[in-house]
Structure 1
Amino acid sequence: MSSYRKAAKDSGKNKKVPDCDETLSSSSEEKTPKSVTHEVLENADSSGKVNRSVQNFQCSNYDDLFKDATESESESILATGGSFLRDKWSSEDEELAGPSQTVPPQLPGIQIVSERELAQLAQVRPLLFNFHEQSVIKDCFKMLEKKVAEYEILQEFMTLDYKNIPDAFNSGNELRNREKNRYRDILPYDSTRVPLGENKDYINASYIRIVNSGEEYFYIASQGPLPSTTDDFWQMVLENNSNVIVMITREIEGGIIKCHHYWPISMKKPLELKNYRIFLENYQILQYFIIRIFHVVKKSTGSSHFVKHLQFTSWPDHGTPASVDGFIKYVRYVRKSHLTGPMLVHCSAGVGRTGVFLCVDVVFCAIEKNFPFNIKNIVTQMREQRYGMIQTKLLKE
């Protein structure tokens, strides 16, 4: 029995744009976002000390895990009486894509992180500080504030439009791979796609390497798994030795399927896949995100791998996080949790919220190390490696 399972038990209960199958339509439709002014004020408000507490909910049913903070208290996306709309861009099966509706009551195991630790992580400040380094960081922030105030950042975003396509999408366009794509216009470049196994099989995911001030940050940006690609997704996790999965979406948003439920929902029953057996060892429900610990066993060899799964639950597609403070704590906790392999990040398409997360993570690391940063340069690097990274200008705000 693994240490996580034993601990839980002992604690008691406790050069061309993609052209794919026309049955899949574009992911570029957007809902009306919040105003630029609201976003700037929200950013300014969050620049001081973070004082909103993160709650650790002890809950006996997963019905509360996916409750949308932006919707009414009575609404739950796990409601058994409602019918969910199949994502019109997706090739997935409506019956298989939704989360389980039969959830055994249970309590989480040992606490994974404390509110105090999260509050400390949210204080993003340089580890070392001298006058020159202080001046560099201040200059970066002054320039950023000026660009936001004068809408220069929006002009930068427009110049970053999808004009330069540095590579082809041949693998994603192959007939045998088209059903593995959630959206017809979001495909990985051939040169940066993540290959699976000896045959270099296809999955809609891209390696992203971002260099800032001489330091490299290594990620995998992936679409949310489909029912037919769940095995492939876990194969990618193991083959790349990634110990952290960053999930920035709910399975269902606004009645539309955004991501297949690719993990076990009960600590008592593993998820059985063709090639893998996934155990939920522990979980903790926080106000803005959920922490899960998985034990992944490869059936053919018996080899195992532990993964920390971090799902941010308060960020609607084509919108912005419900809480700036909560998102800062989330990003910082993800970085603290990352130990091995590329950090695996996905939303639904693997470009919008995923791109913002990568950019913010690099900026926070730069601040902590007293490095200057240039957001336009960071976004440019991402787009050179995965088409469409950061879809809307308000996400860049």
Structure 2
Amino acid sequence: MANRVPEQEENGLTDELQNNIDLQRNGEEFADRRKTNRSPGLSDEEEDLEITTQTHNSAEIWHRGANNSGAVSPLPPPSSASSGFSDDDSLHCDVSQGCTLDQFVEMVQSKGRSGLIAEYTEIKARPPEGSFNHARLRPNQPKNRYTDVLCYDHSRVLLSQMDSDPTTDYINANFVDGYKQKNAFISTQGPLPKTCGDFWRMVWEQQTLVVVMTTRAMERGRTKCAQYWQEEEGASANHGYFKVTTQAIEQHPDYVISSLLVKNNLTEESREVSHYQFTSWPDYGVPMSAMAMLEFMQRVRVCQSEMLMALGDLWAGHPRGPPIIVHCSAGIGRTGTFCTLDICISRLEESGSVDVRGTVERIRSQRAFSIQMPDQYIFCHLALIEYALSKSLIPEPDLAGFENTPNSDDSE
């Protein structure tokens, strides 16, 4: 089950994913790198370990120091906050590209559904912009939910090493920049039963306040994500060396908010984490309307701000707080949609300009294959228009031809 790919990724995206991965694997640059790094007489396993160790020695990233028992010690703000907080650190800081809101609406009307699908096809035809060496290491392969949804090396989240094992730093998760905020998000897969402890270790080490889940644990009778938190108030479960207790639950028509208490059993320290689960994404295609998702996103923003304010001087990192962890099942489809909308709306609010294509391309440079279906790409465009309408920024446009037709694609 852990390595089975969801239908859309098996049938609709697998060719793209596998072809691109094979391109990267067999490309001259990758081959030269492997040849250069290989020491004489090393087996494949020894070479894998050498590459991992070399990466650790050169990585410029905050680590929690392991003590003799394997526990972790406190650190300054996480790697997401180590850049000095300059807007220019983010990939999404240049607003010279793009168009005005009115031009954006005209462009969507002019291109229509078929034109946006063609545009998306151009985007996804590009090969990956990085390597997947760590995701392919033998000890790490079982940690990937899907065999063809791998994790870039250059933007991956590094966990602290445990028991001097360099492969314990791996989780299928990548930092993704937000609008004028470096590493505003962590895009990741839905945890597997064997990686729930790693997931909570990432939450802890990155000092995350809000976790966003855009899938249900079970959809159409298939497991999309392990139950890494409890759905009953007062219930607890242990994952690795963390005890996670659900303190309170808010039920809404389209989403569920859970207040979690995360206790580090090694240090006896506890922290509160808010868990936002969007539950109304359809099994097929995309939502008919974006309003529920837009409301959900606003609630996430407010929660991050309020929890950050409550920390006061305890937080010394980026003024907008630590990374928000976002996941679906593979961490590319609905996750990429959420991040795209948040970035585009933040940009629209501040600058009045829009650049969906550029935003998606930049996200894909940090989390490979983000936005996995044409309908998700179209949804981002229509959701921005819905947002603008809700704020009375534009008159009602004619969007004939964009009606949400039945879709046979499994929605990840």
**Normalized against structure 1, the TM-score is what?**
0.64
Aligned twin of 1:138: 102
Confirm or deny: 8 A CA contact 2:2 2:192 kept in the other structure.
Answer: no
Q: 1:370 aligns with which of 329, 351, 357?
A: 351
Indicate how the Cα distance of structure 1 residues 311 and 177 shifts in structure 2: closer, same or farther if over 3 A, else same. Answer: same
Q: Which runs of 5+ in 1 are unaligned?
A: 1-20, 32-134
Return the match for 2:141 from 172, 178, 198: 178
Matched, 1:253 2:216: no
1:272, CA displacement in angstroms? Answer: 2.0
Answer yes or no: is the 8 Å Cα contact 1:317–1:353 preserved in 2: no
Residue deviations 1:156-191 (CA, integer Å, cap 9, x gap): 101112432221111111111111111000011111
Question: Within 1, Cα distance between the matches of 2:192 and 2:333?
Answer: 18
RMSD: 2.3
Q: Paired residue for 1:151, among 107, 111, 114?
A: 114
Pair 1:237–1:330, CA change in 2 (3 A): same
Aligned AA (1:151): S
Could you tell me whether the CA contact under 8 Å between 1:247 and 1:309 is conserved in 2? yes
Change (3 A) 1:150 1:232: closer
8 Å contact kept, 1:275–1:298: yes
- String of CA shifts for 1:178-210, please: whole Å, max 9, x gaps: 111110000111111111014561111111114
Of 336, 356, 365, which residue of structure 2 is paired with 1:384? Answer: 365
Aligned-partner Cα distance in 1 for 2:124–2:266: 45
Q: What letter matches 1:235 in structure 2?
A: R
* Structure 1 position 311 matched with structure 2 position 311: no
1:75 — aligned with what? none
Q: What's the offset of the Cα at 1:387? A: 1.4
The answer for the alignment partner of 1:292 in structure 2 is: 258
1:138 CA displacement: 2.6
Identity %: 32
289 and 150 in structure 1: CA distance in 2 versus 1, 3 angstrom threshold: closer
Q: Is the 8 A contact 2:2 2:144 kept in 1?
A: no
Equivalent position SS for 1:163: coil
Matching residue's letter, 2:176: I
Check conservation: 2:3, 2:145, Cα contact below 8 A. no
Aligned to 1:209: 177
Alpha carbons 1:162, 1:388 under 8 Å: kept: no
Cα displacement (A) at 1:359: 0.6
Residue 184 (structure 2) aligns with: 218
8 Å contact 1:244–1:309 — kept in the other structure? yes
**Structure 2 unpaired stretches of 5+:** 13-98, 309-320, 379-412
1:271 aligns with 2:241: no
**Cα gap change, 1:23 to 1:359, in 2 (>3 Å):** closer
Other-structure match for 2:331: 350
Distance 1:25 1:265 in 2: 26
- Following superposition, the deviation at residue 305 of structure 1 comes to 1.5
The structural deviation recorded for 1:145 is 3.5
Output the CA distance in 1 between the equivalents of 2:365 and 2:284: 21
Q: 1:146 to 1:285 in 2, by over 3 A?
A: same
AA at the equivalent of 1:268: G
Report the number of matched residues: 271
